[in-house]
Amino acid sequence: MDNIEEKEARLTAGSKFNFKDFMWLCLSKWYLFIFSVVICLGLGYLQIMKQPRVYLATASIMIKDKGASASPDVASAFAEMNSFDTYSNLNNEMVAMTSPIVTKEVARRLGLDVDYEVSDRLHKRPLFGNDLPFRVEFLDLGREGTAHLTAVWTNDDKVELGPFSEDLAEHLADADNNDETITVDLNKAEGDTIETPLGRLILTKNPTFSNAKVSPLEIDVRRIGESEGNNIASSNLRTYVNDDYSTIVSIDKTDFSPWRAKAILSTLIDVYRENWITDRNEVASATYDFINDRLAVIEDELGSVDSNVSGLRAQQIANYGDVANNASRATAAEDALMLQRNRLALAKQVRDRLVQHATDYTILPGTASLENGAIDAKVSAYNELTTYRNSLVANSSADNPVVQDLDMALADRRLEIVSTLDSYINGLNAEIAATQGTRNQSSSRLVMGQTQAPQIQSVERQQKVKESLYLYLLQKREENQLSQAFAAYNSKIITPPVFEGPISPIPRKIFMQWGIIGLLVPALILFLIDLLNSKVRGRKDLDRLTIPFVGEIPLAQRPKSALKKLLERFNRKRVEKLSVVKVKKGSGNVVNEAFRVIRTNLEFLVGTDGSDPRIIMLTSVNPGSGKTFISLNLAVVLALKGKKVALVDLDLRKTALSMSCNKSGKGVTNYLAGNASLDEIVVTNVLENESVDLYPAGPIPPNPAELLYSDRLDAMMSLLREKYDYVIIDSPPVELVADAKIINRLVDLTLFIIRAGVLDRQMLPEIQTFYENKRYKNMAVILNGTPDPAYSRLRLSNRFGYGYGYGYGYGYGYGYGYGYGRKKGDHDKTDDNQ
């Protein structure tokens, strides 16, 4: 069993994929590729027509960075003032540009809650900017209300509104009037309130409209709500930097309307810069309020001190000129003490504000006056983080995980700042204590009797401290006001918004893709057909057979079209009269040469007894292999060499050989039944050749096998052997009936016809078994219907590739249906080719 399986695997293994053969197959089916490419290119054109155009708008701005030198402006003139710091973190600003709080404002300013579309070929095209003749404002639909209406605009600025529809029925003023139309003259009613089934509307002309070529213009007006409008503004919006060494941020936006994409970018930059200035001014505003509060308190205290000084001097309580020397030293100490107490008071005020407003996330006042860089940096960082946290809360809520993380970070920052302020206050207290010691030491040297001088000095000191603090705060307030008045943007526009396009669809790319698909589809179909084909495809499939190979007959003609086959089905008589003899005297085509090769090879074959094979039987495994065609042409090619040839039709069930020669009446069946002699049934000069005689089959008998067992058949073969050089017998297939085996007892040579494209490769092991078991005498093989490479390559429309299972080739093309009960003369049509 294993040997049998190995032999079957060896014999039935199809030839491996041959790229060259596959390419010739594809070339032979060139019309399929042209048809497929044309269809696919049509689909590509349809895709281009249906797909709306996509445009790209771009812009670029430069974010000022601490590492780069600032351009000369007002801020650089006041660089020493901390409030003029206009530098930003690049990554934070890129996120802020496209944050929801910015895109919502962009959508509101541009009115993106209303969408306008017109039909453009096979798709909808949005209108915006220069393409839009008017705008519609819905007054009664709320923020998220949706609605739809049709507006027809004409060149005279008249608009016909209607019909109306809305998703939310409760907003309809009158549900029965949805199909009504309202005509509005924009020249007269522009900006007026119009009552419609959708509520009140306001129509305004677009002053930038410049496309009046199409009139009337039917526009679909859709109120999509603020959320959808924000989606239009934020979708397909991207910010990026080109490299790691610059602070230039590129912004691009893709949209179906080039004007809308450009307007969104322009408004986005404006809103971002305005928001940035607003955030920066919040710190200045908080500082301004703090300074004003302190000035009011100090102003009251300074007024009280001035009154005390004036009273003491009026009463001339003391003359402290005598103690001037000691007083001067005490004054110097007092001056230092004044500055220290001033800083201490400011530090405590900042600390108290930080502790008292720990949970309301307000901006801390500037601390530059403390002249402590660490505290100033921490307060600035705290204010920046607080501003970012408040913007997130405005966009989402305090329960946002990111906001909660920021709250924890701010709490840590507050503790850090408080700790730093405590250390700073402790240091000031120590300095004040030391300064007070110096002052007390100088004061102790004064005359103990002059008790009024220290009193005057104390009051004057308080007056100086208050005046100094008052003037200092006035200066800081002015600086703060200047920072607000001359606040510089943190960005500079490098490239204003411009649009390109369209960037999609790209016709060349789409046509290329569909063209490739058009080439791949038929190639894939042909590949699958070739892959699934299990038929014998050529000589390579027979290389592993050990049966003698006589030759192969190429297919050198066009296969019949389906229309031709249909016409022949209704014109059987014409088909039967067509000649199937391809061998001609003096012809040198491939078919003639193939039969000459077979004739030569037959001369080298010997019978089992060592004699030349004179009685040759042609058979096959399955019908339609071309036995009749080969019998006729083999007889002619032998006759051309001067041989006397007899054609015997022993296919008593189909009589294909007789029908091909258009011979009916008496035949072999009459002879075998004893009703006629050989001379009565022979047909001479067959195929217009004096050397070829035909013994037709005769009427179809009910018992072909019994007749073939007759001794009269043995006698007939003996007579023919003596009379002719060659006797060619056309017999039935071996697998369907037993006739071939019965006839084989009388022959010298058995030619098995293997038809390319008809015989399944699975049958090759069985044919090999016939040969090894010597079931048929002196077996040899002829391969029929193989492709002629020269013909296929020169005529690419011909079928190439070993038949590929389509059933074209040499032979009569009908199926066997052996059995009793068939009417006399019943037969299928013969093939006029092979």
Q: Mean pLDDT lowest for which of 54-68, 163-177, 672-686?
A: 163-177
Q: What share of the chain is helix, strand, coil (3-state, %, to 5)?
A: 50, 15, 35
Whether the Cβ atoms of residue 644 and residue 691 lie closer than 8 Å to each other: yes
What is the tens place of the pLDDT at every residue in 23-78? Answer: 888 888 899 999 999 999 999 999 988 888 999 999 999 887 654 433 444 444 44
32 contacts: CB under 8 Å, gap ≥ 6: 522, 525, 526
> Rg (Cα) of the chain, in Å, rounded?
55
What is the phi/psi pair of residue 586, to 5°? 85, -5
Residue 777 has pLDDT above 60, yes or no: yes
Given a contact cutoff of 8 angstroms between Cβ atoms, the answer to whether 799 and 544 are in contact is no
| 720: pLDDT strictly greater than 60 | yes
What's the confidence (pLDDT) of residue 821?
34
Tokens 């020269």 — which residue? Answer: 790
CA distance 376 to 364: 11
Backbone angles phi, psi at 701, to 5 degrees: -85, 160
At 449, is the pLDDT very low, low, confident or very high (cuts 50, 70, 90)?
A: very low
- Listed range (111-120, 303-312, 435-444, 528-537) with the worst mean pLDDT: 303-312
Give residue-wise pLDDT tens across range 331-359: 777 777 787 777 778 777 777 877 777 67
pLDDT of residue 813: 34
Cβ neighbours of residue 774 closer than 8 Å, sequence gap 6 or more: none
Statement: residue 541 has pLDDT above 80: yes
- What is the reported pLDDT for 35? 94
Residue 398: predicted pLDDT: 78
Q: Per-residue confidence at 662, pLDDT binned at 50, 70, 90?
A: confident
Segment 706-733 mean pLDDT: 92
Report the pLDDT value the prediction gives residue 629, as an integer from 0 to 100: 92
Q: Which of 157-171, 380-394, 694-708 has the lowest mean pLDDT?
A: 157-171
Point out the least confidently predicted range of 35-39, 223-227, 306-310, 520-524: 306-310
Confidence of residue 790 (pLDDT cuts 50, 70, 90): very low
* Sheet of strand 114-120: strand arrangement: 123-126, 114-120, 217-223, 147-153, 158-165, 182-185
Q: Residues 495-525: pLDDT tens digits? A: 899 987 788 888 999 999 999 999 999 999 9
Question: What is the 3-class SS of 130-160, one letter each residue?
Answer: HHCCEEEEECCCCCCCCEEEEEEECCCCEEE
pLDDT number for residue 83: 43
The whole-number pLDDT of residue 455 equals 65
Annotate 90-134 with DSSP letters as a single string.
HHHHHHHHT-HHHHHHHHHHHTTTEEEEEEETTEEEE--GGG-SE
Sequence-distant (≥ 6) Cβ neighbours of residue 555 within 8 angstroms: 756, 785, 786, 787, 788, 791, 799, 803, 808, 809, 810, 834
Mean pLDDT, residues 169-176 taken together: 42
| Per-residue model confidence (pLDDT) at position 9 | 53
Q: In the prediction, which pLDDT does 110 show?
A: 93
Beta bridge partners of 647: 694, 728
> Between residues 410 and 607, which one has the greater pLDDT?
410
pLDDT value, residue 213: 65
| pLDDT band of 136, cuts 50, 70, 90 | very high
SS3 747: coil
Residues 452-461 pLDDT 10s: 556 666 766 7
Higher pLDDT among residues 302 and 106, named by residue: 106
E-assigned strand segments in 193-285 = 193-196, 199-205, 217-223, 237-241, 248-255
pLDDT at 572 over 80: no
| Two structure tokens written together for 76 | 């650089």
Terminal C-alpha separation, the chain: 38
Report d(CA 556, CA 550) in Å as an integer. 19
Residue 694 — pLDDT band, cuts 50, 70, 90?
Answer: very high
Give me the mean pLDDT over the 221-237 stretch. Answer: 92
pLDDT at 379: 82
pLDDT score of 539 more than 80: yes
Q: What is the pLDDT of residue 622?
A: 85
Q: Distance between CA 211 and CA 3 in Å, rounded?
A: 85
Of 716 and 791, more confident: 716
Contact present, 224 and 236 (Cβ < 8 Å): no
Task: Tell me the per-residue pLDDT of 260-271, one tens digit each, with 9 for 90 and over.
Answer: 999 999 999 999
Kindly state the DSSP code that residue 640 receives in the 8-state scheme: T
Q: What mean pLDDT do residues 661-685 have?
A: 88
Give the mean pLDDT of the chain.
78
CA torsion angle 405 407 408 413 (round to 10): 130
Tens-digit pLDDT profile for residues 468-498: 777 787 777 777 666 655 556 667 888 899 9
The pLDDT value given to residue 481: 67
Spacing of C-alpha 469 from chain mean position: 70
- SS3 (DSSP) at 273: helix
Angle between helices 30-50 and 19-28 (to 10 degrees): 70
Residues 169, 175: Cα–Cα separation, whole Å:
8
Predicted confidence at residue 799, as pLDDT, reads: 38
pLDDT tens per residue across span 364-377? 776 666 677 778 78
3-class SS of residue 629: helix
Check residue 516 and give its pLDDT.
95
The per-residue pLDDT for 561 is 54
Using the predicted structure, report yes or no on whether residue 329 has a pLDDT greater than 50. yes
Using CB atoms within 10 Å of the CB of residue 32, give its burial: 0 to 12 exposed, 13 to 18 middle, 19+ buried: middle
Q: What is the pLDDT of residue 324?
A: 57
Structure tokens at 743: 């006839």
Find the mean pLDDT for residues 201-211.
85
The pLDDT of 595-612, averaged and rounded, is 79
- pLDDT at res. 59: 93
Q: Looking at residue 44, what is its pLDDT?
A: 93
Give the percent of the chain with pLDDT over 70. Answer: 76
What is the DSSP annotation of 277-332? Answer: HHHHHHHHHHHHHHHHHHHHHHHHHHHHHHHHHHHHHHHT---TTTTHHHHHHHHH
| pLDDT at site 643 | 92
CA nearest 701: which of 669, 679, 657, 662?
669
CB atoms within 10 A of CB 428: 20
Query: Residue 584 has what pLDDT?
Result: 86
With beta carbons less than 8 A apart as the criterion, state whether 114 and 222 touch: yes
Of 132, 140, 185, whose CA–CA distance to 161 is shortest? Answer: 185
DSSP secondary structure string for all residues of 5-64: HHHHHHHH-PPPP-HHHHHHHHHHTHHHHHHHHHHHHHHHHHHHHHSPPEEEEEEEEEE-
Compute the distance between CA of residue 231 and CA of residue 103 in angstroms, rounded to an integer. 8
| Three-class DSSP category at 194 | strand
- Amino acid 395: pLDDT: 77
Amino acid 65: pLDDT:
62
What is the structure's pLDDT at 689?
84
